[in-house]
Chain A
């Protein structure tokens, strides 16, 4: 059974700090990794995807993947109150994404 684990939080960080969100997965054959952001009452929207080991940067966001440890993370630099949301980790084996339950992030001014 494929499992994707995330700390539910909430993770509370001050404005301007780095927020670090973590995710582990059970299926070693997983090939694609995604981070979605979901605001309350809204649908999930993609922030980042990563396929290869290492880091991938996009603006204030950095995704990190370590397949040996079955671990993927998302760093948010210079966190803003508008980043307050639930962050969902998704892992795909083939074309079927399995989601974690999400980590709630609160960025306070």
Chain B
């Protein structure tokens, strides 16, 4: 398995634009997590899915953020409209059972 795959690796966008981050979890994993990492706040859980169903989105900072998982092999995190304070590294991770979470390579988002 190629591991968790995220795209794009880097994204630079202007304030107010819509940004869509993509994630392909490891096949067979039934949990998918979206994290945001910044120097100030560390690694924060934004939302997680179990069997494609959103379970807890209490970490999503604002209504500008939304996430979907239309099937077991694909998830998106969308920010609309984007703001400079959204600049961070966004990680997708997946796991099954009580194993460790495997992380994708992350998307470095810069909003100017």
Question: Which A residues lie at the B interface, using CB under 8 A?
Answer: 31-32, 34, 42-46, 49, 88, 90, 92, 95-102
Contact B48 A99, beta carbon cutoff 8 Å: no
Question: CB-CB < 8 A to A100: which residues of B?
Answer: 42
| Per-residue A-contact encoding for B82-112, CB less than 8 Å = 1, 0 else | 0000000001000101101111111000000
Least CB distance from B39 to A in Å reads: 9
5 additional contacts (CB under 8 A) given A95-B97, A98-B45, A101-B41: A31-B98, A42-B105, A49-B100, A96-B56, A97-B101
Contact B100 A46, beta carbon cutoff 8 Å: yes
Question: Is B31 interfacial (CB-CB < 8 Å)?
Answer: yes
Q: Cα distance A100–B75 when bound, in Å?
A: 25
Question: Is B43 interfacial (CB-CB < 8 Å)?
Answer: yes
Contact B100 A99, beta carbon cutoff 8 Å: no
Residues of B within 8 A of A (CB-CB), count: 21
Instruction: Say yes or no: A92-B42 contact (C-beta < 8 A), given A43-B104, A43-B106, A44-B103.
Output: no
Give 24 A-B contacts (CB < 8 Å), ordered by A residue.
A31-B98, A42-B105, A43-B103, A43-B105, A43-B106, A44-B43, A44-B91, A45-B103, A46-B100, A46-B102, A49-B100, A92-B98, A95-B50, A95-B95, A95-B97, A96-B45, A96-B56, A97-B101, A99-B35, A99-B43, A99-B45, A101-B41, A101-B42, A101-B43
Contact A34 B105, beta carbon cutoff 8 Å: no
Choose among B33, B50, B91, B98 the residue that contacts A32 (Cβ–Cβ < 8 A). Answer: B98
Contact B91 A43, beta carbon cutoff 8 Å: yes
Question: CB-CB < 8 A to A34: which residues of B?
Answer: 100-101
Question: CB-CB < 8 A to B33: which residues of A?
Answer: 96-97
Contact A95 B103, beta carbon cutoff 8 Å: no
Nearest-neighbor residue (CB-CB) of B92 within chain A: A43
Least CB distance from A1 to B in Å reads: 10
Choose among B31, B41, B91, B104 the residue that contacts A95 (Cβ–Cβ < 8 A). Answer: B31
3 smallest A-B Cβ distances: which pairs?
A: A101-B42, A43-B103, A99-B43
